[in-house]
Amino acid sequence: MTIDSVRAALLSRQASATELATDALKFAEAENPRTNAYLHFSPERALAAAKRVDEQLARGEEPGPLAGVPIAVKDVIVTKGLRTTCGSRLLAHYIPPYDATAVVRLEQAGGVLIGKTNCDEFAMGSSNENSAFGPVLNPVDPTRVPGGTSGGSAAAVAQGTAVVALGSDTGGSIRQPASFCGVVGVCPTYGRVSRYGLTAHASSLDHIGPLARTVRDAATLLGVIAGHDPCDSTSAAAPVPDYPALLDGQVKGLKLGLPREYLKDLTSETGDLISQGVEVFQRLGCEVREISMPATGYAIACYYIISTAEASSNLARFDGVRYTARSASSETLADLYRNTRGEGFGAECKRRIMLGTYVLSHGYYDAYYVKAQKVRSLIARDFANAFQEVDAIVAPVSPFPAFKLGEKVDDPIAMYLSDIYTITGSLAGIPCMSVPCGTTAAGLPVGMQILTRHFDETTMFRLADAFERTRS
Amino acid sequence: MSSSAIDMATPDAIARYEPVIGLEVHVQLATATKIFCGCPTSFGASPNTNVCPVCLGLPGALPVLSREAVELAIKGGLALNCHIRSQSRFARKNYFYPDLPKGYQISQYDEPVAEHGFVDILVDGVEKRIGVTRVHMEDDAGKSIHDGFKDSDRYSYVDLNRCGTPLIEIVSDPDMRSSAEAYAYLTEVKQVLQFVEVSTCDMEKGHLRCDANVSVRLKGAEKFGTKAEVKNLNSFRFLKQALDYEIVRQVALLEGGGRVVQETRLYDPDLGETFTMRSKEDAHDYRYFPEPDLVPLRVGEKWLAEVRASMPELPACKRKRFIEEYGLRAYDAEVLTAARPASEYYETVAKVSGDPKIAANWVMGDLMALLKAEGKEIAASPVRPENLGELVKLIVKDEISGKLAKEIFPKMFSSGDSAGVVMEREGLKQISDTDALDRIIAEVIANNPKQVEQYRGGKTTVINFLVGQAMRATRGQANVTLVTGLLKRKLGTGEIC
C-alpha cells in the first residue's frame, strides 16, 4: 500500500483506520520472525491513533496527510511511554517520558505508529549486525544484511509491514539500507527536520528522514515532519514546500553532475546499473556532465574523526546512574561506570568511544578534530563548487549491493570504507536520497543516490520521481 | 604540612616573597528559568522536581539557549568593563560525575561572551586595577548528597534541581598580590553584579562561589611561581584565611628547599588549612569541543545597544557623580553607592529634601541605625525615601528643629507614616507663634536669674543654655531661630518681667 491508497480506502469507506491498523499489526507481527525488523510493537498507541482518524472521518473532517497510514519508527527516536532501546542492552528497559518532535508531527497528521524498528546500537554500523537484539535480515535475501543502521525501518517498508518508516542518517544510515532493501530513503538537509527526541550519535551529522516504497510517499512524509522546531536550535526556519504537489515528472533541462571520484571502486554490476540510471536521466532530457570532487578521498577519515568525537561525548550519559541499566555489583563509583559501560556497550560503540575520546584528547585535538573540521569545509566547498555548475549530483549509494551476514563484521575498516559515497553528503549537510535503480543478476537491489543544494529537496524529489516513473 | 615545616615561613621570609593571586568566580544569573530549558531556578524545591528531559539529559533532548540568561551575562560583562564579543560559542566540557547527567557541562571555551575587562579596587587607600580575563556562560551541575539519609553509609543521592541553572564564570588576571586585594576584588565583583541585578550573589545559597589560583615568587622575580588552585572558598572569610594559609605554606615549602607542586587543593574551614584534592597527573582532560547542539551566539550592535541602555548607572560612576553633584565626602559616596537600593533611596531623599548633604547624614545616620537595629534591608525600610526627604526638607526650611526631627523620625519608622501624619497625631508641631513663645521665654528668664545675669554681664554664650531651656519647655517644638531672636531681644533691651 501507499499513502494514497490508504487514503483512498479510508475515504471510500472500504476500510476503517482501525481495521487497517489491526491488519497492519497482525501482518507485521506475523512477518517479523523472517527479518527481526521490529523490536517491539505498539498496538495500544496504534489503535488509539486509528480511532482518532476514524472519529475525524465520522465527523466529516478532512483527515491529515498521513491519515491511517501504518508507520514504523526507528528505535533511536524516543516515544513517550513506549520502550526506546537504541538497539542497546543499556536501554533495554528504558521508557522515555516524551515524544520526539517528528513523532508528534506524524501522529498529528493522522499517522499510526505500529512499532519500533531494530537498528545498530546507537545507530553505529553499516549492516545492522550491531544490534543488541540480533541482526535484521534482508527481506530480499535473508542470508544478507539489510544495511545499517536503519535496517529495521528499511526491511519493514520492503516487507510491506509498514507503508512508510522513520529512520535516522548520520553517514548513510537511511540511504544505504534503502539501497540494500530496494526502497526509497531520504536524508534531508541538516536542520530540515528537528532532531529533538533523536538519541544523538553525532549531533552535527544526525538527521531524521523517511523511508518509503515510493518517492511520493517519502516526499509526503518529509513534508509532515519538516520545519522549524523551537526545541532544536539547529533546526532551520526555511519554509517547507508542498513536495508531493511539485512532482510532475518534468526534469527536462536539469543539469546533473557525475563525480568521477565516485565511480572508480564500484563492483561492475553496481557501476552498470548506475550508468543505466544516468542514461535514463539523459533520455528524460537532463544534461549530464562529469564533475570532480577532489576532497572525496579524505571523507572517510574526516567522518570517522568528527562522528566518533561527538559520539564519545553523546554516549557519556549512559553511565548507570539514572535510567541506564546498571551493572549489578560495583564497589566504587569508578567501578559503576566501568562495569555498566563495559557490560552494556557492544564492541562497535566501545571502538567509537575510544576513537572519539582519543581524537579529542589534550595534545591530539588540533591534529585530528580541528584538521577534520577543515577537511569538512573542503568537502562542503566541493559540493558548493559543483552546484555552481549542476542542479543535482547523481552517484552510487554503496560500492556493492547487500553483503552476507558476518562477511564484514570482523573487519571494521572494510565496514567503514563501505560508507564512502554516503558520508560526503552528510558532511556537507545537503539533502541526499537513495532511489531504487535496478537489481543485480542475483536479484539484489541497487540504489542510486541523488544529491542537491541545501534545502532543495524539491529538485531531488522531482528527479527521483521522474526516474521512478520510467521504471513502473 | 607539619607545624615545624610551617615554621620555615618566618615573618621575614614571608616578607621576601610576593604572592600572585587570580580568582575564578562563579555567579548564578538571576533568571527565573534555567539556561537551556524552561524549568524554574527556584531554590529549595523538593529534590528532582524542577526538572525536564533537557536538564535531565535524557536521550534525544536538546538545549535551547535562554535569551534572558544571555542578556544578564552581557550585563555582567559590561558591568565588569568587558568587551562583548559579537560572536561567542558554547563548548562541551566532558567529565563523568553522578550529578552531571549529560556527562558534559555546556560551557564556553575559546570564544567567551565577554573578555578584557577590569575591576578597580581600593586597599589601604591605594587604588589598583585588576584585569578580568574573561566572562563565560555555562550550566550548573546537580548536587550529590552524601549524608542525611538513613542509608547514607551505603548510598549517595543525587538532586538534579540545580542542573542547568545559568552561571557566569569570571576569570581574573593574576593581578592580586595579597589576600586583602583578593578580598577587595571579590567584594567589588559582588557589589557590582548585585548593583546591575545580574545576580543576588547570595553565598549561602551558592549563588557566588570562588576558586583561587595562588603562587608565590621572590620579590623582584619576573617569572611566576608554580601555582596551586584552591577550591571551596565559599565565604569572604574563608577566601582570606585560605589564601593566607596557602601563601605561608608555599613560602615554607620554598624556604625549606622544597618546591610547590601544581595541584588542586581544597580548603578545610574547620582546620583553617588547605589540602591536596588532586594532583596535576590526575587532572581531568576535559576534551573540550564546540557544542554541536547550539549554534554560535551572535550579539549584534542593536541587541548590545539595547542591553547597554537597560543598564543602571554603575557604582563607580555613581560614586563620582555623588561627589561632584552633591558635594559628598568620598567616604559617604562610597557607603551610599555600595548597593543599588541604598543609592537609589539616598538619591530620592536628596532630591525631595533639596539638601543632599543633610540627606546623606540622615540616610547614613538615623535611618541606617534603625534599619540595623531591626535587621531590615533598606529596600524594606518602613520609612519611604520620599517621606524621609520631606522630613529633611522641614528641617532645611527651618520649619522644625533637628531635635524635633529626631523625635519624629523613630515614630515614622515604627508606623510607616509621613512626618506630617506623625506630627499631627502626636501634637508635635513647631511653635512659631510669637505670643506663645513670649510666654515661654518669660518663664525661662524668670526661672534662671543667675544665667540671665551672667549674659547681661557679658558672658553671651549663656544664651545657648537659655535657648536649650526654652526648647525643653516646648519639648523641642519651638522654632530655635525664633527663640534665640526673642531671647536676645528681651535680654538686650533689659526688659524685666
Which helix H or strand E contains B315, and what residues bound it?
helix B315-326
Q: Is residue A140 part of a domain?
A: yes
Instruction: Extract the C-alpha cell encoding B53.
Output: 528531559
B287 CB neighbours in chain A (<8 A) are 312-313, 357, 360-362, 365
Q: Residue B91's closest CA among A365, A103, A5, A76?
A: A365
Does residue A163 form part of some domain? yes
Q: Do B101 and A77 touch (CB under 8 A)?
A: no
Residue B287 to residue A312, Cβ atoms within 8 A: yes
Distances A83 to A76, B15, B165 between C-alpha atoms, Å: 10, 67, 30
Domain presence at residue A88: yes
Tell me, yes or no, if A365 comes closer than 8 A to chain B by beta carbon: yes
Domains and CATH numbers, chain B: 3-298 (no CATH), 314-426 (no CATH), 434-493 (1.10.10.410)
Cα distance between residue A272 and residue B286, in whole Å = 49
Cβ–Cβ below 8 Å for B53 and A310: no
Handedness of CA A457, A458, A459, A462 (dihedral sign): positive
CA atoms within 13 A on the CB side of B210: 28
- Single pTM value for the model: 0.89
Q: Residue A193 domain-assigned?
A: yes
Count CB atoms within 10 A of the CB of residue B49: 12
Partner-chain residue, chosen from A233, A315, A319, that has the shortest CB–CB distance to B62: A233
Structure-block grid coordinates of residue B89: 560559542
Q: What's the pLDDT at B2? A: 56
The minimum CA-CA distance between A317 and chain B, rounded to whole Å, is: 5
- What residues of chain A score a pLDDT lower than 50? none
Report the side by side order of strands in the sheet with A255-259: A38-41, A112-117, A70-74, A164-169, A207-212, A184-187, A432-439, A445-452, A392-396, A255-259, A287-291
CA angle (B69, B72, B78) in 5-degree steps: 145
Domain that holds residue A21: 3-246
pLDDT at B5: 67
What is residue B283's predicted lDDT score, i.e. its pLDDT? 77
Which residues in chain B come in under a pLDDT of 70?
1-5, 430, 432, 493-497
A400 in contact with B at a CB cutoff of 8 Å? no
Per-residue buried b or exposed e for A370-395, using 16+ beta carbons within 10 Å of the residue's own CB: ebbbebbebbbebbeebbeebbbbbb
Q: Closest Cα of chain B to A198: distance in Å? A: 4
Distance CA A361, CA A368 (A): 10
Residues of A in contact with B163 (CB under 8 A): none
Asked if B440 and B478 touch (Cβ cutoff 8 Å), the reply is: yes
Q: Among partner residues B63, B64, B292, which is closest to A230 by beta-carbon distance? A: B64
Four-residue CA torsion sign, B182, B186, B192, B198? positive
CB atoms within 10 A of CB A180: 35
- Please answer yes or no on whether B59 and A234 come within 8 Å at the CB atom: no
Contact residues for B496 (Cβ-Cβ < 8 A; gap 6+) = none
Cα distance between residue B345 and residue B379, in whole Å: 8
Q: Give the pLDDT confidence score for residue B483 in this predicted structure.
A: 83
Instruction: Using an 8 Å CB-CB cutoff, list chain B residues near A100.
Output: 60
The model's pLDDT over B170-183, given as tens digits with 9 standing for 90+, comes to: 999 999 999 999 99
Kind of pairing between the strands at B157-159 and B228-231: unpaired
What is the DSSP secondary structure assignment for residue B312, as one 8-state letter? P
Number of domains in chain A: 1
Q: Answer yes or no: are the C-beta atoms of A49 and A113 closer than 8 Å.
A: yes
Task: Tell me the residues of chain A between 225 and 254 that have a Cβ less than 8 Å away from chain B.
Answer: 230-234
Instruction: Please indicate, yes or no, if residue A417 is contained in any of the structural domains.
Output: no
Nearest-by-CA chain B residue for A310: B292
In B, minimum Cα distance to A78 occurs at: B60
Q: Which amino acid is at A354?
A: M
Contact (CB<8Å) A200/B65: no
Q: How far apart are CA B409 and CA B371, in angstroms?
A: 12
Chain B's closest residue to A99, CA to CA, is B60
pLDDT, residue B495, reads 45
In a domain, A234, yes or no: yes
CB contact under 8 A, A98 and B59: no
Task: Check residue B108 and give its pLDDT.
Answer: 98
Q: List the CATH number of the domain containing A242.
A: 3.90.1300.10
